[in-house]
Chain A
Amino acid sequence: MESTVIIEKGIFIVAIFAITMIMAMYSTWAERKVAAWLQDRIGPNRAGPLGLLQPLADGLKLFSKEEFIPDTRNKFLFLAGPAISMSVALMTSAVIPWGDKLHIAGRDVILQATDIDVALLYIFGVLSVGVYGIMIGGWASNNKFSLMSAMRAGSQMISYEVAMGLAVIALVMMSGTLSLREIAAQQSGMNWNVFYQPVGFIIFLVCSFAETNRTPFDLAECEAELIGGYHTEYSSMKMGFYLFAEYASMFISSTILAVLYFGAYNYPGIEWAVENWGVNIANSIGMVVLFVKICFFIFFYMWVRWTIPRFRYDQLMNLGWKMLIPIAIANIVITGIVILLADKFL
C-alpha cells in the first residue's frame, strides 16, 4: 500500500476516534440538558457557559475516585469487561461512510475508514460481541446483582439481535448489497430507505434501543432492582468506560440508523450541488447533513428515555419474540413479493 494511503487512513481514523469521543462526551451533557428541558428545568449551567465544561468535570471526578477492585478470582476478566465494551463501541465506526469523497491534491479521498463489502455483516458481528463486555464484567464482579443484570442484558441483546437482523435482511434484499457505501450511494437525493422500508425502520429503531441498553430497555441497569446493574462493582474510570461506551454506542447506532434508513450523507439536491459547487463543497455539506441526522437520532434516544418508563422483563421478551420477530418476517415476505412483482411488471 502506498504510504499516502496509510497516512490518509491514519488521519481519518484518528479523526473518527476523536469525533466519536467528543460526541460521546457531549451526549452526556446533552442527555442532562434534554432531560432537564423535557422536565421544565434548565439543566447543568454552572460548569462553563451553558454547562459546557460539565463532561470534563465529570471525567475529572471519575478519575479522582478510588480505584476499587472487588475480591474476585478473575481480575483480568474484571478489567477486560469495560475494555471490551469500549473497543466494540468504537470498532463499528470503521465501516461507516461519513461522506462520499473529497478531491484533495488530485486524489479522490474516500470518507470511510475501510470499505469492506460485507460491512453490514461486520457491524452485526461486532455488535454481538458487545454483549460480552457486559457479560464478562457482570460475571467477574462476583456480585449477584451484577450477574443478574448481565444475564438480562445478554438475553435481551440476543433476542433483539434476531429481530434486528431480520429487519435488515429486508433492506438488503432491496438494495442487493451488504456494503454500507453502496447502500448509502443508492439513497441519493430523497431516495431514503425509510420511505421504502418503514416497518423495517421501526423494528430496527426499537431493536437499536435494546442493543444500546437504553430506556425503555435498560433492564440491565435497572436501579430499583439491581442497584447499578452490571457496573455495580466498578468505580473510577472503569465505571466511566462503561458509561462512556454506552454513549459511544448510542452515537454509533444513531449513525447506523442514519446511514441505513435516512439516506446517510445524501440530501435533496446533492447532484445539483456537485455539478455547480464542486465535489468538495457538496460532500462537505453531505457530512454536515449526516451529522445533523445523527444528532437528531441521539436526541430521539434521549427524548424517548425521558418519556417512557422501563418495560417489565416479560413485556420486553414478549415484545421481542412475539411481536417484532413475526412482524419482521412478514416484512421480509412482503418485501420479497413486491421485489418479484416489480421485476416482472416494471
Chain B
Amino acid sequence: MTLTDSKSAVNDDRPLLGLLSGFIEELRNAGLPVSLTENLDAMEAVTHIPIEDREAFKYALGATLVKNHSHWRAFEVVFEVYFSLRGPEYEIFDGDTSADAPVEDDAEMSGEAQASGGGGGMSALTPEQLAEMLFKALMQGDDAMLRALARQAVIRFAGMEPGRPVGGTYYLYRTLRNLDLDGLLDRLMEATRDDAPGDLSPLEERLERDEFNDRMDRLKQEIESEIRRRLVADRGVEAMAKTLRKPLPEDVDFMHASREEMVNLRKAIYPLTRKLAVRLARKRRHGRKGPLDFRNTMRHSLSYGGVPAEPKFRFPRPAKPEIMVVADISGSVAAFARFTLHLVYALSGQFSKVRSFVFIDGLDEVTRFFDGVEDIGEAVHRVNTEADVVWVDGHSDYGHAFGVFWEKYGKEVGPKTTVLVLGDARNNYHASQSWIIKELKHRARKVFWLNPEPRAYWDTGDSIVGEYGTWCEGVFEVRNLRQLEAFVENLV
C-alpha cells in the first residue's frame, strides 16, 4: 500500500533513527531477541525502501528483526504503534461520545466527527443510513468503503476520551456492540439466499458465510487499527506500546490465557511436538552407542584379517521410561493438564508405555481414550468431558485422589515407572496423604511434580506443594509452553 494521500510511515517530530531505535528497544522489551547485528541490518535495510511505502518498510524491518514466526504478531503490534499514521485527524477530542451519552444523538456526533476531520461526508448520516452502507459494503466486499466505515464507527461508537488509561479492547467492544455484526451476518446470508437462482446447498451456504466472516474480520481489524491510531495520538508511542505489551506465545501463562491466547497455544502445540519428536529421536540415535565392546570388536575383526576395522559398541540398556501421568483437571489447572497430556502422548514413541490418570476429588484412568487414536486433541477433549473424576463435590482433593490411585494402581508402579504429578497442589484444606507420594517414590524410578503456578505462590493459602515436594525427585514450575518443552526434553 502506497500512502501518497497520507502521512509517510515515519512522519514524526523525531528523526527516523531515533524512532527506529525506540522501536527496537520496545521489541526487546516485548521479549524479542534483537541482536546488535540485526539492529544495524534493519537500519541499512530501510535506506533501500522508499520511505512512503509503509508495507515495504514493515517487511524490511520484519525480515531483519524477527527471526521466529511466532513473534510476528508481537512485532506487528509494536510496528503499528510506532509507525502508525499520524496527524490531527486522529486526535481524540473531549466530548467524544462518552459511555453515558446516547450514541444515537446525531447532532452531537456529526459535530465531533467534523471536528476530528475524519469520515469524509459520513458524519451527516443517520445511524440507519450508516448501517445500510455497512451492509452494502460487506455485501460487495468493498474494502475502501469498509475502511471509511470503520473510522466512522469508531468516531461514533467507541466513546473515546482523551487521557483515559484504558487499552483498546474496551473501545473495540463498544464499537462492535453498536454495529451488531451477528445480526448483519444473518441479513447478509438472507439476501444471498434471495439472490441465488435456486436453493443454496449446505456447501454453498458455508462458503458464503465464510466469505462474509472474512470481510467482517477485515472490518474488525480496521476498527482496531483506527482505535490504536487514536490512542497513540492521544497518549504517545511509549505509553501505548507498554499498555499493549503481551507475552509471546511460548510465555503465555496456562492458567491465565485468554480465549484468543488459548487458540494460539493450541495451534502452537502441533509444531512443538513435531519439533520435539524429531529432536528427541535424533538425540536417542546419537546417544545410542554404549561403551566399546572389546570382545565383539575382536570377533568381527576376524573377517578383516584380524584388523579391528569395525568397532562394536555395547548397547546401553534400552532406557525408555514408562510414564504414568496423574493430573488434576479441575478449573484453572485444566488447560495445563490438557497441554501436558497432549505433549506426552504426542511423544509416546519415546516411552515404553504411557498411562494417564485424571482427578478432581475422584480419580479415573483415561489411558483408554488414547489407545490407538490418531487425533490426540480429540482424546484430550474426551478426557475433559467423559472422565469420571468427581467423588463428592468436584473441588480438588489431592489426598483422596492419591488414596484411590494408591489402592487401585499402586502395585503397578515399578522401578521402570516415572510418575508425573500435574497440579497446583491446592488441596482445599483436605488431608494431604503425602505418605502416598513417599511410597510412590520408593517404588518408582522417579516422581516429578509439575506445578503451573508461579513459584511465588507455592505454599500460600491452601497450596501444599512443598509438603508433597519433599517426596519428589523434583518439583518444577511449568507455567508456559517454553517451560513445558524444556521439562519434557529433559525427561526423555
Question: A and B from one assembly?
Answer: no
Q: Which residues of A contact B (CB under 8 A)?
A: none
